[in-house]
Structure 1
């Protein structure tokens, strides 16, 4: 049977808030950080045990569970209700957005690896295919990006018209197309190759070339440029 001592019953030096104040937030473990957010567990289960159970699930996937688990799955843990599940998902989303914002607008996207690394954490855990257009200036510096399509588990509907409407609206000189494969395998499908060719031809007609089409998998990527399709 688990120890039911609550955070309130811990010595001050072991409480997340007090420990943070005394030693800095970096001194807190993953469990302590999340416990400080959800604050309390239940009568029979303390918050640290609830968080530990979440982090240890899926073969100890740790914090990645917050990204991959749905609200419903989180609520299956004893002590996690609707509000706490939403809080945890909000924390997960904040970490993704913060990771992306460490990269500034204006970064030079002149190599597929740079682009893949920039978008990897944001896109590799998405459960639907997302098609993203990255807008570049004349020096291949990133201006912005737009998600133009969200599809099913294994496909996204690519509208060439929407892609270039967004590019023209942004004043892009060239574009990079990205989409993710929820399966984790970045190998291109026949549809991916067809879309690449279709968008390439359309871009050439209106003088906004597509310089790459990158597929994001789970810590792997596929570049149409590197593969010789562009």
Structure 2
């Protein structure tokens, strides 16, 4: 690969900046959009080629969604990525998540699992370990707090009903919703998911804290255990 392999060496109509100006950002590929944000490449590799290499960094077929899985340390180990570019990519990932969450805010209704799943989808679908999130609600089913109560392995997360209800009682919650992700992308509940959900539902009934739902997040999909008829 030659030393003069720069964006300026490309035909003008193929340069990401010029292409955006002429045709609009919506007509740029994922790699071209990323190249615009990276601005520069590395020796012997322009920003567009670097962007392609980042997007195609593994064989998962996730493409641009790989960005959400990278950590600062992982990015720093990639040839051509220094501190500045690593921070830019992490901020791009976080901005995308916040934009998705913000667009789902207006339709968020804690009695409707579809809107809850949509609101938390980008937060949870890209995580490489199972994470259990507890949503705390008041008597009017309004959110008064949320917290992560367990971070597990790639296929399991342990949760103690005792710790969960201590948190709920301390925050004076009248109802709770459980959320957790399946890194495999398949939201189908395991037997352990069903067992622990029943235990939490029964314990909540004794304490006067209703379990409204347990929602499992997959890869842009979800399952509501209440809708599945696991509890009423």
In the superposition, the TM-score normalised over structure 1's length comes to: 0.81
Matched, 1:188 2:189: yes
1:124 touches 1:181 (CA, 8 Å); kept in 2? yes
Other-structure match for 1:49: 49
Deviation at 1:28, TM superposition (A): 5.5
Alpha-carbon distance in structure 2 between the residues aligned to 1:145 and 1:200: 18
Q: Which moved more, 1:120-129 or 1:97-106?
A: 97-106
Other-structure match for 1:61: 62
Q: Write out per-residue CA displacement over residues 108-150 of structure 1, whole angstroms, 9 at most, x where no aligned residue.
A: 2212222222222221111111111112333434444211111
Matched, 1:127 2:155: no
Q: 1:3 to 1:56 in 2, by over 3 A?
A: farther
Q: 1:164 to 1:2 in 2, by over 3 A?
A: farther
1:185 touches 1:217 (CA, 8 Å); kept in 2? yes
Alpha-carbon distance in structure 2 between the residues aligned to 1:8 and 1:171: 61
Other-structure match for 2:223: 222
The number of residue pairs the alignment matches comes to 230
2:108 touches 2:115 (CA, 8 Å); kept in 1? no
Other-structure match for 1:81: 82
Other-structure match for 2:115: 114
Matched, 1:163 2:164: yes
Unaligned runs of 5+ in 2: none
Other-structure match for 1:35: 35
Alpha-carbon distance in structure 1 between the residues aligned to 2:103 and 2:221: 21
1:16 touches 1:35 (CA, 8 Å); kept in 2? yes
Other-structure match for 2:137: 136
1:106 touches 1:142 (CA, 8 Å); kept in 2? no
Alpha-carbon distance in structure 1 between the residues aligned to 2:170 and 2:18: 50
Q: 1:59 to 1:128 in 2, by over 3 A?
A: closer
Secondary structure of 1:63's partner?
A: helix
Secondary structure of 2:86's partner?
A: helix
2:132 touches 2:157 (CA, 8 Å); kept in 1? yes
Q: Write out per-residue CA displacement over residues 17-49 of structure 1, whole angstroms, 9 at most, x where no aligned residue.
A: 787789876676533443343332122111121
Secondary structure of 2:68's partner?
A: helix
Unaligned runs of 5+ in 1: none
Other-structure match for 1:96: 97
Alpha-carbon distance in structure 2 between the residues aligned to 1:97 and 1:49: 28
In the superposition, the TM-score normalised over structure 2's length comes to: 0.80
Q: Which moved more, 1:131-140 or 1:75-84?
A: 75-84
Q: Which moved more, 1:178-187 or 1:79-88?
A: 79-88
